[in-house]
Amino acid sequence: MRVWRLPADVDTDQLAPGHAMKYGIDVIARHCLEAVQPAFAREVQRGDVIVAGANFGIGSSREQAASVLVHLGVAAVIAPSHSGLYFRNAFNVGLLLLSCAKARCIGDGEALSFDARGGQITRADGSVLTTEPIPGFLLDMVDAGGLLPQLKKRLESR
Amino acid sequence: MTPSTLAQKLVARAAGRAQVTPGEIVNCRIDLAMFHDSSGPRRLQPMLAELGARIWDKRKVVLVIDHYVPEADDEARRIVRIARDWAAEQALPYVYDSLGICHVVVPQHGHLKPGMFVVGGDSHSPTGGAFGAYMFGIGATEMLGAVVSGEIWLKVPQTIFMRWTGRLADGVSAKDMMLAMLGRFGMNGGQYQAVEYCGEAVAALSMAERMTLANMSAELGAQVGLIAPDQTTRHWLEHIGVDVEELGLVRWHSDEGAPGMRHVFDASSLAPQVALPHSPAHVRPVDGIDPTPIDVAYIGACTGAKLDDLRAAARVLAGYHIAPGVQLLVAPASVRDREMAANEGILRLLLDAGATLLPSACGACAGYGSAIPERSTVISSTARNFRGRMGSDTAQVYLGSPYTVAASALRGRISDAREILA
């Protein structure tokens, strides 16, 4: 895995450009972040992590802006803060967001590991950053792959 | 009981609790769920089918077809057909097809009322806060959960009070108030909390102007943007046939001493504000920006093309003609707004001034219909000027009030409407 560094204020229209919104997630994925980091959609690998500046995901309610990252295999987005609406959408589609005040110190291309329930990010040099606690029911939702698979399981077990 | 904010009271009612505390997570019952052709049927239908689940209460669901109409291409036709077919198959009682933008159409048809708890499948859903309803935007998957269960979880928000004292000058509007707040607090300044707009300048605003404020709470990053209902709210609702009990009005306000952060602004000293490319928070007073020639002036969207917005533009343009080489595009927020503008003679004034009338739909605000040419400079009464948002990556989009957009169309460069109105 590697870290993709992105600036602050990455908006939903950069993640899921309006011109691609009428198509399916596979087409949107080809255009994901094209205006910010053109290599991203082409080169991102399953398990990679995005580390962004503050206010990640501001803008529209389009949840494709979150599901496109799930589609591309992104394991988590770490940022000092996220848009509240994006935060809800992300967990609903199975994308883990971690809020970390010190995300800024993580570099592009770095390797790291994280423990969402433990609230910790471990960097390559062994140093540890703490993340803000996330309610357990949201982490369960991400583990289930999002709200849809979770609801499905719940309805089947009735 | 300890003093509560309006947001706390609205959430407590929906959660079936006497009182709630900021920070706690509660489950709320939904009074109304609104979605449109982009976020709604095309996403909900397959997921509902996969679950084998049904809508919990169709009388509490409103579908507005506003994003991909009029259909520009085959993909748009496909999306709109899915919405229409699904609405017919489900026999949805409330469907508004090609009648205008959801945030304006839904209250105009009497679906919103003080005290309600409402979810919308669109980020500008906080517009409903203008009516004293707790209304916020959610994505399609969360909407699925909402329409299957009729419930949604919520972290009870803190409240940020934005108190505006004094009176706005002529040619200065709610849009300028909002841009000033965005310039000061940034696009996530609302921290997904509740913002409540109050003070004499807010009380003096018409419902349409209050809707503009509440609408752009989305840009502030708030979950909701509330205005306590008053006689203005009541008159507006009664005019469209919605009964509002006096008791309801008295109930839905923040108590004296309710907890929250408080900011105070002076409306009387506020100049028209303009957001520079490419962020709604990149704000300067109109007299503080470099001379900026424009190619397109756009009056559109739920934010900036309601009747009051069209009236503002017409006041600036009446008896004049726009500058040569400038395109003035006007897309009234709803068919009803367009008709009222026609009845008042405002539409005629705008057309005589050289405006081109576009359909009442989301249109260029969301990048549909290729109205915005490449490499053009645009001033727009919409809410968002992210790069590429209006359909062209190379366009430079500025945001302003309808007054400012009209004045800029008239002079061919970004201009202060106060000079024309004086």
CATH number of the structural domain spanning residue A107 = 3.20.19.10
Contacts 24+ apart (CB under 8 A), B249-253: B249/B114, B251/B9, B251/B115, B252/B6, B252/B9, B252/B10, B252/B114, B252/B115, B252/B132, B252/B228, B253/B6, B253/B228, B253/B229
B contacts of A22 (beta carbons < 8 Å): 68, 75-76, 79
Residue B144 has phi, psi (to 5 degrees) of -60, -50
State the smallest CA–CA distance between residue A14 and chain B in angstroms.
Answer: 8
Residues B180 and B211 in one domain: yes
Residues B77 and B165 in one domain: yes
A47 CB burial (10 A radius; 0-12, 13-18, 19+)? exposed
Please check whether residue B354 lies inside any domain of the structure: yes
Which residues of chain B have a pLDDT value below 70?
Answer: 247
Cβ contact A6:A37 at 8 Å:
yes
Q: What is the mean pLDDT of residues A31-55?
A: 97
Would you state the structure tokens that stand for residue B237, as one six-digit string? 């609702």
Indicate the residue among B213, B231, B266 that finishes a domain: B266
B363-to-A18, B107, B128, B358 alpha-carbon distances in Å: 12, 20, 21, 8
**Residue A129: per-residue pLDDT:** 98
B contacts of A88 (beta carbons < 8 Å): 138-139, 142
Residues B121 and B146 in one domain: yes
pLDDT at A131 over 70: yes
CB contact under 8 A, B53 and A151: yes
Strand partners, B226: B196
A54-to-A65, A119, B159, B191, B386 alpha-carbon distances in Å: 16, 19, 21, 11, 16
Residues B244 and B321 in one domain: no
**Residue A157: per-residue pLDDT:** 83
Indicate the residue among B246, B266, B286 that finishes a domain: B266
Residue A28 has phi, psi (to 5 degrees) of -55, -40
Residues B212 and B283 in one domain: no
Please check whether residue B324 lies inside any domain of the structure: yes
Would you state the structure tokens that stand for residue B339, as one six-digit string? 């008709």
**Residue A156: per-residue pLDDT:** 84
The domain that contains B199 carries what CATH number? 3.30.499.10
Would you state the structure tokens that stand for residue B422, as one six-digit string? 């004086």
Residues B317 and B381 in one domain: yes
Please check whether residue B290 lies inside any domain of the structure: yes
Would you state the structure tokens that stand for residue A43, as one six-digit string? 């080169």
CB contact under 8 A, B188 and A35: no
State the DSSP code for B169: P
Residues B383 and B346 in one domain: yes
**Residue B395: per-residue pLDDT:** 96
Smallest CA-to-CA distance from B123 within A31, A11, A30 is with A11
Q: What is the ipTM of this complex?
A: 0.95
Please check whether residue B120 lies inside any domain of the structure: yes
Please check whether residue B1 lies inside any domain of the structure: no
For chains A and B, CB pairs below 8 A equal 110
Residues B186 and B319 in one domain: no
Indicate the residue among B232, B266, B300 that finishes a domain: B266
**Number of domains comprising chain A:** 1
**Residue B247: per-residue pLDDT:** 65
**Number of domains comprising chain B:** 2
Please check whether residue B133 lies inside any domain of the structure: yes
Tell me the pTM.
Answer: 0.97
CA–CA separation, A25 and A12 (whole Å) = 14
**Residue B369: per-residue pLDDT:** 81
**Residue B244: per-residue pLDDT:** 85
Residues B235 and B296 in one domain: no
Residues B224 and B151 in one domain: yes
Q: Which domain holds residue A147?
A: 3-156
Residues B119 and B221 in one domain: yes
State the smallest CA–CA distance between residue A115 and chain B in angstroms.
Answer: 23
Residues B244 and B341 in one domain: no
Q: Which domain holds residue B301?
A: 275-421
State the DSSP code for A85: H
